[in-house]
């Protein structure tokens, strides 16, 4: 009588053994970013905007919380991550904040195929914890482009800095969220004025 296991049983045994060695560390906490709340006073608007996903350098394309060392080096802060890739998360919060302001006819993504008057394109220049100053830094450049002509009708850089009590995942996420709220408030005012 053979003592050999069938191939499928052997594969299941090897998988169970491999998985048994996993899970030694705790899973990182997941943090979200907030949109601005609804203003409660919608205004009849004639303009519509498409919000493109922001671009950024490779570390900013991930879902990790970044620490910028005094010498300029970047590292990922352990114990926490964003609820989505940072550019997609920021795009979503810009769209929601513009919608909540109630001053535009429509706000959409490029893939929604909605005819718009303007496209808002942006670049994440910084979204990190500056270890040297102990601050959360958000730096976003944005341009409003006229659909059809491609002409830049307005361009601006938005920046905010918020102190971080202690550099850990929870404090870093809260301070970055507070800095983003300041930037979102300025982006909404700017996009609604077109200047």
Cβ(118)–Cβ(105) below 8 Å: no
- Averaged over 93-122, what is the pLDDT? 93
Higher model confidence: residue 8 or residue 31? 31
pTM for this prediction: 0.84
Residue 31 to residues 89, 90, 125, 173: CA-CA distances in angstroms? 11, 13, 21, 7
Q: 56-106, pLDDT tens digit by residue?
A: 999 999 999 999 999 989 999 999 999 999 999 999 999 999 999 988 889
Give the residues across from 64 on adjacent strands.
81
pLDDT of residue 148: 86
Q: Is the dihedral of CA 45, 49, 54, 55 positive or negative?
A: negative
CA distance 73 to 135: 16
Query: Smallest Cα–Cα separation from 63: which of 176, 160, 166, 158?
Result: 176
pLDDT of residue 44: 62
Q: What is the residue whose two structure tokens read 């601006």?
A: 156
pLDDT of residue 120: 97
Where exactly are the structural domains of the chain?
A: 38-193
Q: What is the residue whose two structure tokens read 């919060």?
A: 93
Helix (H) or strand (E) segment spanning residue 96: helix 86-101
Q: 126-156, pLDDT tens digit by residue?
A: 999 999 999 999 999 999 999 889 999 999 9
Q: What is the third-level CATH fold of 38-193? A: Rossmann fold (3.40.50)
Statement: residue 117 has pLDDT above 70: yes
At residue 194 the predicted structure's pLDDT band, cuts being 50, 70 and 90, is low
pLDDT of residue 195: 59
Q: Would you mind telling me the total number of residues written for the chain in this entry?
A: 195
Query: Smallest Cα–Cα separation from 142: which of 160, 173, 119, 161?
Result: 119
Q: 152-178, pLDDT tens digit by residue?
A: 999 999 999 999 999 999 999 999 999
């Amino acid at each position: 009588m053979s003592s050999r296991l069938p191939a499928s049983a052997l594969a299941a045994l090897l998988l169970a053994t491999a998985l048994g060695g996993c899970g030694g560390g705790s899973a990182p906490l997941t943090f979200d970013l907030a949109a601005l709340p609804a203003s409660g006073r919608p205004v009849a608007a004639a303009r519509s905007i498409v919000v493109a996903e922001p671009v950024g350098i490779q570390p900013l394309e991930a879902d990790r919380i970044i620490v910028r060392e005094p010498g300029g080096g970047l590292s990922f802060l352990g114990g926490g991550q964003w609820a989505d890739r940072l550019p997609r998360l920021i795009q979503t919060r810009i769209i929601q904040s513009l919608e909540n302001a109630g001053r535009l006819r429509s706000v959409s993504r490029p893939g929604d195929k909605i005819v718009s008057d303007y496209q808002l394109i942006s670049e994440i220049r910084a979204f990190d914890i500056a270890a040297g100053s102990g601050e959360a830094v958000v730096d976003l450049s944005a341009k409003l482009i006229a659909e059809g002509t491609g002409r830049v009708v307005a361009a601006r850089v938005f920046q905010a800095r918020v102190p971080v009590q202690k550099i850990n995942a929870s404090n870093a996420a809260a301070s970055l969220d507070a800095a983003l709220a300041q930037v979102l408030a300025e982006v909404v005012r700017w996009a609604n004025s077109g200047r």
